[in-house]
Amino acid sequence: MRRFGPLGVSAFALLVLVLALALFAPFIWQERADAVNPADILRGPSAAHLAGTDPLGRDVLARVLVATRLSVGLALLATGLGVLAGLVLGTSTAVLGRRVGRWIGTLINIAVAFPSLLLALFFAVIFGVGAKGAVLAIGLATAPNFARIAQTLSATIAGRDFISAARIAGVGRFRILVRHVLPNIADSMVITATIAAGNATLAFASLSFLGLGVQAPSYDWGRLLGEGLQQIYIHPAGALVAGLAVVLAAMAFNLSGEVVARAIGLRSTQTGTLGGPPPPALESPMPEVPDALLAVHNLQVSFPGVRPVRGVSLSLRRGEAVGIVGESGSGKSLTALAIARLIEPPGEVTADRLSFLGQDLRGDDVRAHRRLLGTSLAMVFQDPMTSLNPVQRVGRQLAEVVRTHSGASRRTAWERAVDRLSAVRIPDAARRAAQLPHEFSGGMRQRAMIGMGVMASPSLIIADEPTTALDVTVQKQVLQLLQNIRAAEDVGLLFISHDVTVVGQMCSRVLVMYAGRIVEDLPATALRSDARHPYTRALVAAVPDMETDRSQPLAVIPGRPPDPRDLPPGCAFAPRCPLATDRCRTEDPPLATHDGRRVACWHSDLAPAVVPALLKGEQS
């Protein structure tokens, strides 16, 4: 019961109460409800009659309680009918073959468009006024909805492999339906039916209230409500108690259904505390770079219960291209977002230093840096398909940058946008600017994103896996474009990728990240031959090149990246490292600086050749 929460438990309790009343109330209160007392008509609430009496002196509360059976019973009957009719209609589209199925589907779609009360009125005319007519009317009125749901559900099931297998095995359509499809959609249908029973209770009350449902001398809540409304001035309790009963019963059904649906469909939301105070930097302070465009020291990013970036330090000069490389989950993208101040709560960013163009970006007041970041920092994100606003014209999304930050007029901004689009080699830029993102190809969208970045005059471009989501053929164009802009405009480039080869080609310096830390910082030229950290060497060795022996299996790094929630005490790479010793497993190595390069490994002095050999040893 616990997983349904207090709301679920109270909903179930209410539902049990409603069903119990429906079963037992007439046995207990029937006499009281029918006892006419001319001496006691239309009395207000009293000890003898908690909700007063009606125009014939009958006890209102007893009548409402007794009416539970008819109200809920008829609603359940109508729902059952609706489910049955809906199942037959909805699954028949799968059984009857394509042509007939499509016609039925179209009819269902048309019927669903009409509110069920209108359908119920329509059927009430055909089946006649009265309880039987109302049950049929409400049942048939809800059928299209169930049919649509059954149709959608069985269509999903029908696409599954085991149905194809049954079909190939020669199992007939009807048998497939009964044996395979129905059991698989039963859960969802039961939940939907529970919710629908609540709505049927309301619908039934509506019809009876209008005088089209239960007829005198029988009475359900809707009838009591209609009768009570006549006396609402003298004796409001009559209408209000019946109304309350309808709402409570409907809510009991609705909420129970919703709660079960949610409990089945949703995983528990994880909670946790923030990962504690940020630990001190595990690296010596960076040597001051006098003309640094970007200087970061001991940058940490934490989310409740986890600290995915654990102290990153880097600096970047104008015109320089620095790459960050690492597996997914190594914290490289979060590092980029943190530098750009785009981490949102509950994420928290701390740093001993975070300065861009000489300005300190730390602190909560991001607004203070709005203009600086908006004009001097450009971001290019991983997935161009989702990074542009789908309902705004591309040109407008570009123009917005200078409209906001430079106060450019609409016209100037648009012209600039067209100019920038052609600068990123989008053909026919004037026409393209007026288009929406979905009219662009993936490569064009990424170029448009870059164009957006160069609307103002950026000093730094942060590109977070800009080509990962693109076709191989257009990857090269986008990389070339970034390279050209960097060279021509003397812009710094922070290039993030999991592809060590691309980073090696694009950047002069490479930072290798593992489990939220930089483990090595080296010139791109040293990447192939002179990497010191075993992880870097393994990354390089895992990339096949022209000399790779094709008869051997491709080299892989054994093991998995560690879970940032549960890091080993020493070096995070130790469990996967062929060189790991006891020291590695207990002490996290600092990122130590040697002649302009940095490496965090206790064994950085081992000969580079050793590692690939060790990796191959793992393979066999």
Partner 1 sequence: MNVWVRFATRRTGRLVLSLWVLVTAAFAMMHALPGDPVRAALGPTAPLELVQARRAAMGLDDPLWQQYLHYLAGLFTGDLGTSMTSGLPVSDVISARLGSTVQMAGLAFVVAVVVSVPVGTLMAVLVRHGRRRGGDLAFTSASVVLATIPEFLMAVGLVFVFSVQLGWLPVAGKAGPDSYVLPVLALAIGPAFVLARIVRVEMLAVLQTDYLRTARAKRLPERVVYLRHALPNALTTTLTLGGLLLGSLVAGTVLVENVFAWPGLGGTIVGSILAKDYPTVQGVVLVYGIGVLLANLAVDVALAVVDPRSTIRES
Q: Site residues (CB under 8 A) for partner 1? A: 7, 106-107, 110, 113-118, 121-122, 124-126, 128-129, 198, 202, 205-206, 209-212, 225, 229, 232-233, 236, 239-240, 243, 246-247, 250-251, 254-255, 340, 342, 344-346, 369-371, 373-374, 379, 381, 383, 386-392, 397, 400-401, 404-405, 436, 438, 449, 452
DSSP code at position 81: H
Find, among 57, 477, 13, the residue nearest to 255 by Cα: 13
Residue number, 243 or 311, with CB nearest to partner 1: 243
Separation CA 440–CA 419 (nearest Å): 17
Compute φ and ψ for 577, nearest 5 degrees.
-95, 125
Give whichever of 372 and 526 is closer to partner 1, judged by the CB atom: 372
Q: Shortest approach of partner 1 to residue 612 CB, angstroms?
A: 38
For partner 1, give the closer residue by CB, 97 or 346: 346
Rounded CA-CA distance 600/581 in Å is 15
How far apart are the C-alpha atoms of 360 and 82, rounded to whole Å?
Answer: 65
C-beta separation of 203 from 141 below 8 A? yes
Whether residue 79 contacts residue 193, with contact meaning beta carbons closer than 8 Å, is answered with yes
Rounded distance, CA 409 to CA 416, Å? 10
Closest distance of CB 92 from partner 1, Å: 18
Query: Alpha-carbon distance 86 to 142, whole Å?
Result: 8
Closer residue to partner 1 in complex, CB, 392/581: 392
Q: How far is the CB of 382 from partner 1 (least distance, A)?
A: 8
**What minimum distance in Å lies between the beta carbon of 538 and partner 1?**
31
Measured CA to CA, the distance from residue 358 to residue 362 in angstroms comes to: 12
Tell me the C-alpha distance between 207 and 117, whole Å.
9
593 burial type by CB count under 10 A (0-12 exposed, 13-18 middle, 19+ buried): middle
Nearest approach in angstroms of CB 112 to partner 1 is: 9
Q: Shortest approach of partner 1 to residue 437 CB, angstroms?
A: 8
User: Contact, 512 vs 325, CB < 8 A?
Assistant: yes
Nearer to partner 1, 109 or 586 (CB): 109
The CB-of-547 to partner 1 minimum distance in angstroms stands at 39
Nearer to partner 1, 37 or 386 (CB): 386
Give the Cβ contact number of residue 182 at 10 Å.
17
Nearer to partner 1 among residue 242 and residue 540 (C-beta):
242
**Strand pairing partners for 598?**
521, 593
> Minimum CB separation from partner 1 for residue 307, in Å?
18
Q: At residue 464, what is the residue type? A: D
Structure tokens at 567: 């890091």
At closest approach, how far in Å is the CB of 360 from partner 1? Answer: 17
SS (H, E, C) 411-433: HHHHHHHHHHHHHCCCCCHHHHH
Nearest distance, CB of residue 369 and partner 1, angstroms: 8
Nearest CB to partner 1, comparing residues 106 and 581: 106
118 vs 289, which CB is nearer to partner 1?
118
Question: What is the longest distance spanned by two Cα atoms in the chain?
Answer: 108
CA-based nearest residue to 283, from 534, 496, 594 = 594
Between residues 67 and 541, which has the closer beta carbon with respect to partner 1? 67
